[in-house]
Every structure is written in structure tokens, then in C-alpha cells.
Amino acid sequence: MTASLTTAASTTAAATSLQKRQPHWPRKIGRALLILVAVSFLAVFLVLPLSVVFVEAFRQGMHAYLSSIKQPEALSAIRLTLLVAVIAVPLNVVFGVAAAWAMARFEFRGKALLGAFIDLPFSISPVISGLVYVLLFGAQGWFGPWLDAHNVKIIFAVPGLVLATIFITLPFVARELIPLMQAQGSDEEEAARVLGAGGWQMFFRVTLPNIRWALLYGVLLSNARAMGEFGAVSVVSGHIRGLTTTMPLEVEMRYNEYDYVGAFAIASLLALLALLTLAIKTLLEWHYGDEIAAHAPGGH
Amino acid sequence: MTLELSHLSRRFTDFAALDDVSLSIAPGEFLALLGPSGSGKTTLLRILAGLDYPDAGSVHLDGHNFLVAQARERKIGLVFQHYALFRHLTVAENVAFGLRVRKRKLRPSKAAITERVNQLLKRVQLDGYGHRYPTQLSGGQRQRVALARALAVEPDLLLLDEPFGALDAQVRLTLRRWLRELHEDLKLTTIFVTHDQEEALELADRIAVMNRGRIEQVGTPEAIYQQPATPFVCEFIGKVNKLPVTCTDGKLAAGEWVLDSDPWHGRHAHATAYVRPEHLALGVPANQPAWIAHLRHIYLAGSVVHLELYVPAIDQTLEADIAGEDVARLGLQTGVDLRVAPRSAVVFAIDKPGDDATVQDRWMWQAQSTIFA
Amino acid sequence: MRRRILPGFGLSLGYALAYLGLIVLLPLAALAWKASGIGLHGLIRLLSSPRTFAALKLSFVGATFAAVVNAVVGLLVAWVLVRYRFPGRRFLDALVDLPFALPTAVAGIALTALYAPNGWLGQWLVPHGIQIAYAPPGVILAMVFVGFPFVVRTLQPVLESLDRDVEEAAESLGASHLQTFFRVILPMLFPTLLTGFALALARAVGEYGSVIFIAGNIPMRSEIAPLLIVEKLEEFNYAGAAALGMVMLIASFVLLIIISLLQRWSRRWAEQTR
């Protein structure tokens, strides 16, 4: 008797929950339609361009692909790209940590303005980011004549590429760290101070470990942008083959010379870098989401 | 090790967190800073810890200026309200932190640190938990790790910010007893901040009651409870009945309850009397002044019984607490009328009725007669 | 008396300000100074040149159009990714950031390879009179591509935290699903949608790398303003380049300020109706 009652009750409950859960068929179709539209959009809009890079790169086979990557210009472009990133990213890491420490731990006048200035490079055209350095260091620029007299080359040389890349990637680390450090609060650092830690001890033993994943995340994003930047470096590069062409610039030059396989071969390396970046980024978000936290990925 | 706080003031942009606070703390004392939120008690604690600085005033420790020292030089153990454990370090590493950051000359050997950490973890009943991370602990366990971490540096002064605030009631009670025992063992000067009067009354040797950046009263728990210095202390500590009193012709009166003396000799026309629920006598003989009260409700609360009494003469409902066995002895039941009068009261003279801000004088009144039940 | 409890305020703020001053502010000052060199006359002449005007128009109108497309499509994609569970969802979710991670030059040649008249898709579209590459639609397509992640990524966290109670309340009051969406959900999302729109717009206005390959760069037709700056630089017309750069900067700041005002207004409105 009791058993049958329970069964009856649970059946009714199941029926209600089924009714509740199962949407009516127009809604089901609507949902399927929405998913279909979104998925096909993403496929045509994102997957297809990505595939085209690899297909075009291998159009004339593995051999042509490899030989176009092994050309000395390609190798020097790869070297230069790495060099630029290796200089620009660490500099912006130091800046980002310093700016985040000041902004998240202290109150001072003009803080909002400082935040706006840090964001500035995001809302400036890459071309203008390059242009400003030409105006500063170019032949007709503020410091141009002086540099010329002392035989220092910045524009149409590696320093210009580095400067433009620093400008473009300046906000990434700071933008990642500021909201996180604000959310974490300063209790742990104060505790370290009360326990007798010196300034650097507090920083390396408490602050840095607490922001390490967000820092890595910021580095990852800056690096992707630094290696892939085109507009800003294009303006300051002067396109001297083997000397001032980074990988994206090499892509452009080959493409304009109708060397499509060569262009797509270099492009495929950059696309691999992008995929690697996305993979690591996704892994970081899955595993350390809370410790990266507080960031709106749209703010890049 | 006497800590001397004098004339401390701290203003934030829109309010005074501390307003001319002076306090002297004896060696080995267990002191509670008790007050509602925003009363300045946490600001005071943070100033002692070196995490905030006063705008004016001084703190001296045995005659030395305490404020010139940075937080890290003060030899203070501080337990944060939310513990502020280092989340990336294990329990043992958290406890060892204060020893490991010392200058090489002062730093104990690795073995000595391990030894001390184990000893402290045993002390806070967490031996075997050394390899866990803070996130793997319960609230009460985290609290004890924070305490062990603070004690590891052998502080001269232990500061606790709302030590039990984030814990549930059961754990809170156990930890309270345990902390009291720990203090008796260590004899360490301890100051803790709380908004929970029960906690302060149970734990502390002395309580400083704070309100709006000022200290209203400092004293033993008994003194604070029995002889409150200000209306705020009366109302903040324990339950209390508040009655308007008029002072005329050398008499103090609230309805039918009339006292044949005026301590102020006609200088004040109004006063407020505070009467604790357990100080209300029931069944007062007819030769004594008393209110006729209507018993509205009887609430049984274990060994104590709360009564709700309505007094028509002053149009007020009074609360009385009596022992459970007295209910039957006095034949109490809802709806009966009783003669009710205070056994003792604290009376504050005021300028205008209902205005606590203009308190002038305090009078501790005690009934002479012993006839009360 | 000392006030700062944690150490390093002077060092960190000083370093940040010096770095920012050298890397960002000094160069921008040079831009403003150089731009002012052409004078009011020069500015009028610059802006009244039909080619410059056409390029600015394409950059701003095209970017606005692209941001609108992104707002609509981004809302759809964000909605599907947050609300529905289907195989491959996490993969697609990760892929949304591709336009951000993929270097713009790579995106540019990939899109061109797809939509050029002899390209993968172009060979089917062009015979039907749909020309995308080497024409304004190609410019807009590239702008949609680079701005795409912004709307989705801004909306996602807000959609996730959106109170389901409100929707259920609306439905219990008899609203249809479409009514619930347009009258309850969309107004709540609107300020966030505007943020995403502004970010996508700012990105598209200045975009260079992905656009120049697919645009064909035909003067008066498919030439964007940043390209014109590059051309002026190549002619060593520094003042002209600086002036055009300054015009673009000011125009996009004005646009962003308008959007943020719009946003404040819509947020206030949303709060008032709550």
C-alpha cells in the first residue's frame, strides 16, 4: 500500500517536472533554429577563414610549404618577431604590475584619469600608434635631426618596431590585474606587513603568487598581439627585407608579390600561434577562472 | 607593557571614526572593544596594528612612542576578521610566514621553525593539518590557523578583529571558551573588537564600550552591566525598559511609581529611568509605590520566563524576566493584573523629554525595602 | 604623520606615470603639435578633398554598420552559447576569440582568399552579382570580423548573471517568449550591448591590417582613412598624415563619449523602471 502510494506520487511528480522541463514544440524548433544559425555563422565566419589559411599554405604540397618557410627572409622575420615580443612584453609586464599596484592599493587624485590613459591605446588606430613615433623620431620629427646627427636609427629600424609594439600592447597586463587586485583586497598584504615582511618580501611572497595566473593570462594576450601586430609596425618598419620585416609584414610583402603559397605559409605559422594562444587561454580560464576572475574578456 | 592611548582622533572624509579617545591597557589584560558598526572600534584596532594612523593623539608603550614604528616593527599579532590567510600557502607555511621573513640574523633555523609550527598547530588543535590549504578548512579551523600564525612571531600584543564574526553559533561558543583558556595560559595582552555584547561580557576582563568614535564607558563586565555610565551603554548592553520620568516638588515620578527624593534638588525637570527586566519586582505590597500592570503574555524560554506587562498609567509595555519556578508561586497567568515596581534603576537627568543627547546627571537608585519578591 | 600603510606607492605610481608619459603621452603630444602645423586653412583643404572625405566616411559609416551587425549577431551567439547546451559548444565558445588572437594580416588575406572573385566563396557569389572583395562590403566584412569578439564577450557574463526569476515572472504574467525577450531581457541587456557596440566600433574605425587586403583600396570607393594616413606618410606629408590622424582620433572620441552618455542614460532608465 505504502509502496504503491509512493510510486503513484513519484510518477505524478515526474510527469509535472517533464511537463515543466519539456518546452512546447514551437519553442523546441525555435531553439534548434537559433543554435543552427549561430553555429553556421561561426562556421562560415570563423572556421572557414582559419581553414583557408592552411589549405592555401599547402596548396602546392609539403615541399613548397617547407621551402618557403626556410627562406632566409622568413627565418629573419621569425627571429625579429620573437625579438620584438621578448622586449616589449616584459616591459609591459613591469608597467602593468606597477600600475595595478598603484591603482588597486591606493587612493589618489586623478586615478580615474590614469585608468583612462592606460586604456587609450585600445581606442587608437594601430596606424596612428605607429604614426606618432614617426612624428617623434622620423626624419622630420621632433627628435629626428638630433638622432640623425648622432647616427641613431629608431624609425625604419628595430627600436621603432619595439616602441610601436609596446604602445599597442601596453594596456593588456594592467587591465587584467587591476580588477583582480581590487577584488582581492589588501588584507593578505597587510597581514604580511604585520607579520614583519618587508616591502619586497610582501610582494614576492604574497602579491605575486596571488596574481600569477592573471599575470600569465595578460602575458599571453600581450604576446599574441605583439607577435601579430601589423598596422603600427607597418608604419614604422620601412619594409626592409631581412632587417625590419616581422612575420605579419613578411606575409604582406609576399602577398603583394603574388607569392600566395609563401604568404599563407608564414600566415599558417601565425595562425598556429593564435590557436595555441586560444588553447592556453581556454585552459587557464577552465582551471584558474577564479584566480583570473573579474575580467570582461571583451575589454581587449 | 602598559599601553597608553591618549586623545586619539581619526577623521575620514565624512565622519569622525575616532573622537578624542583615551585608554590605558594593563599588561596581560583581556580587553574588549565593544560597539555597533561604525563606532570606531575597528579603526582603533587598526591604529594599534599600524594599519592606520590617527590625525591626532598618541600611543605609548611603556613610555615609548608606539606610532613611529611601522606595522612590521611592532611585534603585534593580528587576527583579521576574515582571517586573511595566504591562500597560496599551506597551513604550516602560513604559520611559518612571520618567522621566515625575518632577517637572516634573527631567523630561526629551518628545524626550529618546523618545531615551532608543529607546536603551535598542536596548541590550536590542528596538528596533522599542516599540509592543507586554507580553502580546505572550515571557518573555525581557519580562525585557529590565523591565530597560530599571529602567535608564531611571539607578539607582545594580540589583536583580534571580530574573531568570531564569521562563524556559526555552535562553533562560536566552543571557540570562545577555548580562547579564554588560551589567554589564561599565555597571559598575553589581548584586545579584541566585537559588536556582540554577550561575547564581550563572557570573555573580557574589561570592556570599552564605543559609540560614534568615543568611548562611552570602560570597566569590568559587571560594572558595565550593573552601573552603566551613559544611556547608550544602558541600551546597548542587555535588555532594558526605558521610562520617562518627571522631577517635581522633590519627587521623581513615572505614573504611579513615585520616589520621595530628588537627587538633583529641582535642577532638572525631566529624566529617563532604565530598568533591566530582571530588576522588575512583581506582586509588590500595597504600602510601596508600584504600577498596576496587566500581564499580556508569558514567554517560556527555558529556565527564564519573559513577561510582557502593560502599564496603562504610563501607556507602556514593560518586559520582566523571572525564574521559571516563580510563575507557579505567584500564580501568574495571562490576563491577571499585578503590582509591579523596579528593584533598582539607573536614572539620567535630561533637558527635554525623549532627548538622550542632553544627558546631565546619573543617579543609581536602589530600593531600600527588602519586601520585594 | 604617515598615511600609506602598504609600501611602494611612490615607486609604482611614479614608474607607471613616467612610462605612460614616455610611451603614450609624449608621442600623442607630438601628433597634436604636428597636426596643428597645417593650420585651419590646411585642415579645411584636407577635409574638403573628396578623396579624404570619402575615406573618412567609409571608415566611420562602415564601422558603425559593422558594429550594428556585430551587436545583432553577437547577441544571438552570446545567447546561444550561454543558454543552450549542445555538442561542440565549448569549442565554439573558445573560438569566438579567434579574430582577436589571429593577426590582422592573416585575417585579411584569408578573407580575401574566400571572397575574391576567384575565391572559395567569391566564385559562387560574384556571378550572382554579389561582389564583396575589392568593394565596400568587403571592408565592412573585415570590420565585422575584427569586432566580433567584443560584443559576445561583453554580453556573456551579464547574460549568465541575468536573473531567471524576472523572465519566469514575465511568463507567469502571460507574456509570450518573444514578448519576454523584447520587453524584459533586451532592456536589461541594453547598456551592456552598448558597451560591446562601442568596443567593436572603436576597433573597426581604426582597423587597418585585415581591411586593406580585401578592400582593393580603390580611391573614392573602398579606401579607408588609416590607409590614407599611410599613403600621406609615404609621400613624406607628415603634417597631412598627423592632421588626418588627429581628425580620426577626435572623431572617434566624440563617438565614444556619445555612446557612454547614451549608456548612462539607458542604465538610469533601466534602474528607474525597476
Its ipTM equals 0.91
* Structural domain containing residue A35: 2-52
- Claim to verify: residue A89 and residue A12 sit in the same structural domain: no
* Structural domain containing residue C200: 39-273
Instruction: Tell me the mean pLDDT in the region B268-291.
Output: 89
Look at residues B323, C19, B301 and name the one whose alpha carbon lies nearest to residue A90: C19
- Over residues B185-233, the pLDDT tens digits come to 989 999 999 999 989 999 999 999 999 999 999 999 999 999 999 999 9
For C1-16, b/e burial (b = at least 16 CB within 10 A) is: eeeebbbbbeebbebb
Give a yes or no: residue C30 inside a domain: no
- Over residues C106-130, the pLDDT tens digits come to 999 999 999 999 999 999 999 998 9
Give a yes or no: residue C124 inside a domain: yes
Q: How many domains in chain A?
A: 2
Torsion B102-B108-B111-B113 (CA) sign: negative
- Claim to verify: residue A227 and residue A248 sit in the same structural domain: yes
Give a yes or no: residue C26 inside a domain: no
Rounded CA separation B260/A160 (Å): 96
pLDDT of residue A23: 57
pLDDT of residue A56: 95
Sheet order of strands, B15-25 included: B15-25, B3-12, B56-61, B64-65
- Claim to verify: residue A152 and residue A135 sit in the same structural domain: yes
Residue C135 clears pLDDT 90, i.e. is over it: yes
- Domain boundary pick from A52, A73, A92: A52
pLDDT of residue C255: 84
- Put simply, whether C4 touches B (Cβ < 8 Å) is no
Q: Is A227 exposed, middle or buried (0-12, 13-18, 19+ CB in 10 A)?
A: buried
pLDDT of residue A7: 40
pLDDT of residue C3: 61
Instruction: Tell me the mean pLDDT in the region C212-218.
Output: 93
- Over residues B257-275, the pLDDT tens digits come to 988 888 888 888 889 999 9
pLDDT-above-70 percentage for chain A: 89
Lowest mean pLDDT among A2-11, B12-21, B312-321, C141-150: A2-11
Residue C269 clears pLDDT 80, i.e. is over it: no
Chain B: closest CA distance from residue C94 (Å):
28
- From A203, which residue of chain B is nearest by alpha-carbon distance? B101
pLDDT of residue B284: 86
pLDDT of residue B370: 60
pLDDT of residue A8: 41
- Put simply, whether C3 touches B (Cβ < 8 Å) is yes
- Put simply, whether B50 touches A (Cβ < 8 Å) is yes
Q: Which residue has the higher pLDDT, A22 or A90?
A: A90
Give a yes or no: residue A66 inside a domain: yes
Residues in chain B with CB shorter than 8 Å from the CB of C2 are: 53
Q: Quickly tell me which residue has 524560554 as its cell.
A: B301
pLDDT of residue A210: 94
Q: Which residue has the higher pLDDT, C90 or A25?
A: C90
* CATH number of the domain that residue C142 is part of: 1.10.3720.10
- Claim to verify: residue A113 and residue A10 sit in the same structural domain: no
- Over residues C65-90, the pLDDT tens digits come to 999 999 999 999 999 999 999 999 99
Give a yes or no: residue C158 inside a domain: yes
- Claim to verify: residue A27 and residue A152 sit in the same structural domain: no
Residue A97 clears pLDDT 70, i.e. is over it: yes
Q: Which residue has the higher pLDDT, B302 or B54?
A: B54
- Claim to verify: residue A28 and residue A150 sit in the same structural domain: no
The single-letter code of the amino acid at B7 is H
- Over residues A63-85, the pLDDT tens digits come to 999 999 999 999 999 999 999 99
Most confident of C3-7, C143-147, C190-194: C143-147
Residue B314 clears pLDDT 50, i.e. is over it: yes
Binned at pLDDT 50, 70 and 90, residue C264 comes out as confident
SS3 (DSSP) at B37 = coil
- Claim to verify: residue A139 and residue A247 sit in the same structural domain: yes
- From A202, which residue of chain B is nearest by alpha-carbon distance? B101
pLDDT of residue A17: 43
Residue C270 clears pLDDT 80, i.e. is over it: no
Give a yes or no: residue A300 inside a domain: no
pLDDT of residue A2: 39
Q: Which of A187, A194, A209 sits opposite B72 (nearest CB)?
A: A194
Enumerate residues 81 to 110 of chain C having a beta carbon within 8 A of any beta carbon in chain B. none
C1–B54: do the CB atoms touch at under 8 Å?
Answer: yes
Q: How many domains in chain C?
A: 1
pLDDT of residue B354: 65
Give a yes or no: residue C182 inside a domain: yes
The single-letter code of the amino acid at A10 is S
Binned at pLDDT 50, 70 and 90, residue A5 comes out as very low
pLDDT of residue A106: 94
- Claim to verify: residue A134 and residue A224 sit in the same structural domain: yes
pLDDT of residue A4: 41
Rounded CA separation B266/C37 (Å): 87
Give a yes or no: residue A36 inside a domain: yes
A195–B153: do the CB atoms touch at under 8 Å?
Answer: yes
Residue A297 clears pLDDT 70, i.e. is over it: no
Give a yes or no: residue C139 inside a domain: yes
- Touching B: which chains, 3+ CB pairs < 8 A? A, C
How much is the mean pLDDT over chain B?
Answer: 90
Residue C274 clears pLDDT 70, i.e. is over it: no
Give a yes or no: residue C10 inside a domain: no
Q: Which of A190, A197, A209 sits opposite B88 (nearest CB)?
A: A209
Most confident of A93-102, A131-140, B273-282: A93-102
Estimate the share of chain B in helix, then strand, then coil, as percent rounded to the nearest 5: 25, 35, 40
- Over residues B336-345, the pLDDT tens digits come to 898 999 999 9
- Claim to verify: residue A205 and residue A238 sit in the same structural domain: yes
Residue B373 clears pLDDT 50, i.e. is over it: no
Residue A15 clears pLDDT 70, i.e. is over it: no
- Over residues B40-83, the pLDDT tens digits come to 999 999 999 999 999 999 999 988 899 988 888 888 999 999 99
Residues in chain B with CB shorter than 8 Å from the CB of A195 are: 72, 97-98, 101, 149-150, 152-153
Lowest mean pLDDT among A164-168, C102-106, C219-223: C219-223
Instruction: Tell me the mean pLDDT in the region C204-231.
Output: 94
Give a yes or no: residue A74 inside a domain: yes
Look at residues B161, B202, B196 and name the one whose alpha carbon lies nearest to residue B77: B161
- Over residues A191-221, the pLDDT tens digits come to 999 999 999 999 999 999 999 999 999 999 9
Residue A293 clears pLDDT 70, i.e. is over it: no
Q: What angle do CA A71, A75, A76 make, to 5 degrees?
A: 115
Give a yes or no: residue C34 inside a domain: no
Q: Are A77 and A151 in contact (CB under 8 A)?
A: no
* CATH number of the domain that residue A194 is part of: 1.10.3720.10
